[in-house]
């Protein structure tokens, strides 16, 4: 849904980098964007690369 505040595995704060990441991948490859942001750990990289933004889809449904 929303990018987690911290990496699930190592606990490093990552959410503050997500908007910058989205801007960078429009211009260059995801690998280069992650390197530019200083995200080196595999667990943190996986958080960015596997994240799917579903908040707009879920927001369409009402709570019963």
CATH number for the domain that contains residue 27:
1.10.10.60
Residues composing the chain = 64
C-alpha distances (whole Å) from 35 to each of 25, 51, 56, 57, 59 are 11, 17, 29, 30, 33
Q: Which residues span the domain enclosing 49?
A: 1-64
Would you call 13 helix, strand, or coil by DSSP?
A: strand
- What are 5-62's pLDDT values in tens digits? 999 999 999 999 999 999 999 999 999 999 999 999 999 999 999 998 888 888 888 7
Q: Are 7 and 17 in contact (CB under 8 A)?
A: no
As for how many domains the chain has, the answer is 1
The pLDDT, as a whole number, for residue 1 is 63
The pLDDT, as a whole number, for residue 60 is 86
Predicted confidence band at 2 (pLDDT cuts at 50, 70, 90)? confident
């Amino acid at each position: 849904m929303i990018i987690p505040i911290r990496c699930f595995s190592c606990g490093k704060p990552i959410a503050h980098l997500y908007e910058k990441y989205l801007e960078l991948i429009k211009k260059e490859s995801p690998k280069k964007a992650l390197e530019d942001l200083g995200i080196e750990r595999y667990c943190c990289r996986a958080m960015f690369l596997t994240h799917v933004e579903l908040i707009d889809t879920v927001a369409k449904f009402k709570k019963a």
